[in-house]
Amino acid sequence: MSDTGSNAMWGGRFAAGPDAIMEAINASIGFDKRLAKQDIEGSRAHAAMLAATGILRDSDAEAIREGLLTVLSEIEGGTFQFSTALEDIHMNVEARLKELLGDPAGRLHTARSRNDQVATDFRLWVRDQIDAAISGLEALQRALLAQAEAGADWVMPGFTHLQTAQPVTWGHHMMAYVEMFGRDAGRFRDARTRMNECPLGAAALAGTSFPIDRHMTAEALGFDAPCANSLDAVSDRDFALEFLSSATICAMHLSRFAEELVIWSSAQFRFVALSDRFSTGSSIMPQKKNPDAAELIRAKIGRILGANVALLTVMKGLPLAYSKDMQEDKEQVFDAADNLMLALAAMEGMVSDMTANRPALEAAAASGFSTATDLADWLVRELDMPFRDAHHVTGALVKLAEDKGCDLPDLTLEEMQGVSAGITEGVFDVLGVHNSVASRMSYGGTAPEQVRAQIARWKEKLA
């Protein structure tokens, strides 16, 4: 995408033309044609600015603007013939414009370079992807909110180390992911704010001697301001790296949730049933219903993290300003964006369609001595026992229940008093899982009342 490559169109020292290998390694049109809409948008803004500043005749500017719309309609209609010999989207568009308009087309490139042109196109494309990602995240959050609202008071086991820890509510678990995906949307918004400066007019690296108005083009393209340093403007790819970094963290969150759905939908757990739309059968085992969509989402982090590492590696040793290495900045970002959007859409569909198995959740919530912490807290609160002593007494009661093959609520009062004489009948009020979750009234806790408050907060935020 540099103004220092090889192209037979330029004549002079390049008149002999590149050989097939050089053409293949140098061309980017195979992938950067995805920037066509942004390239034409930037060119139309540039032409309008050139006319407004008197650099370009109004008649030429109007012809260029209309010609660019014709080129865009050809590209969107699938009739445009892309040429590898013309290297990139910029030269392909300009060559077609020349066929349509003749000499006026050649005036479009006044006061700009392909270096600031591609930097602008790519920023516009990434900005569009950020907006799409935020939209996808909000749709997923709404699906999670619907699940949380339906099961705000359904009990289920909360886990640490994938071992039963304490009872929580289904709504509370769903809301944990609402928070995670909310942070992801926040990262994308932060990245969008930081990247929203316009490189157009930085030219090859040093700016231009023409009396251009960079604030006009920045405003026309929806940027907050022009980039303040022309060297930085053409060599910066932080915006793409921030997009990939945000996408990587988001993909990690999607992968964590996908892992839970794989486990939960197994015959051993039966916490959820995934719809047939997001499951597949086995070619040999007729009883199987495989959570393939969740498994594929779980894997997407590999591609997206890989794209992040790849672009960081491309950029790490580049001196200012533009180098041809930077042509390797797009394919990874395109692939990561495609896969992130696919994963978000698939997860939103799965969450919307899945059915939680309330009886299985409740049965599992009561297993594994999940109310042991409630017992220890009761000993501290009611018997004024130091927590470390309460922890020891509770451990002894858990061991007793384990030896008897029962759960804590199934022990008799006499058996409990044999471990700690001060225990009273009131202990049984805290040993049920519903009592346990209802007691967790601290802000952000699992009590249904707290869960509903968080649901209301998020509904207002997403309204």
Phi/psi for 323 (5° steps) reads -130, 155
Residue type, 342: L
Secondary structure class of 168 (helix, strand, coil)? strand
Catalytic residue among 59, 73, 275, 282: 282
In this structure, of 37-41, 195-199, 419-423, the range with the lowest mean pLDDT score is 419-423
pLDDT of residue 177: 98
More confident residue, 459 or 24: 459
pLDDT value at position 6? 46
Decide which of 119 and 2 is more confident.
119
Say whether pLDDT at 288 is over 60.
no
Catalytic hit among 113, 161, 235, 253 = 161
Of 195, 201, 183, 8, nearest to 91 (Cα)? 8
Residue range 4-31, pLDDT digits in tens: 444 545 445 555 555 777 777 878 888 8
Range in 57-61, 324-328, 342-346, 373-377 the model is least confident about: 373-377
- The per-residue pLDDT for 92 is 93
Catalytic status, residue 434:
no
Spatial distance between the Cα atoms of 261 and 112, rounded to a whole number of angstroms: 51
Length of the chain: 463
Computed over every residue of the chain, the mean pLDDT equals 91
DSSP-derived secondary structure for 318-377:
PPSS--GGGGGGHHHHHHHHHHHHHHHHHHHHHHHH-EE-HHHHHHHHTSTTTTHHHHHH
Radius of gyration of the chain (CA): 31
Angstrom distance (rounded) from CA 274 to CA 291: 7
Higher-pLDDT residue of 288 and 351 is 351
- pLDDT at residue 157, as a whole number: 94
3-state secondary structure of 384: coil
- pLDDT over 50 at 295, yes or no: yes
- Please indicate whether residue 282 is annotated as part of the active site: yes
Closest CA to 182 of 225, 220, 234, 145: 145
Which amino acid would we find at residue 234?
V
pLDDT at 212: 98
pLDDT at 368 over 90: no
Nearest one of 394, 371, 333 to 167, comparing CA atoms: 371
Mean pLDDT confidence for 108-124: 96
Q: What is the spatial distance between Cα 294 and Cα 277, in angstroms, rounded to a whole number?
A: 12
* Pairwise CA distance, residues 119 & 236, whole Å: 8
Contacts (Cβ under 8 Å, ≥6 apart) of 332: 244, 306, 307, 308, 310, 311
89: tokens are: 């989207």
Mean pLDDT of 231-251: 98
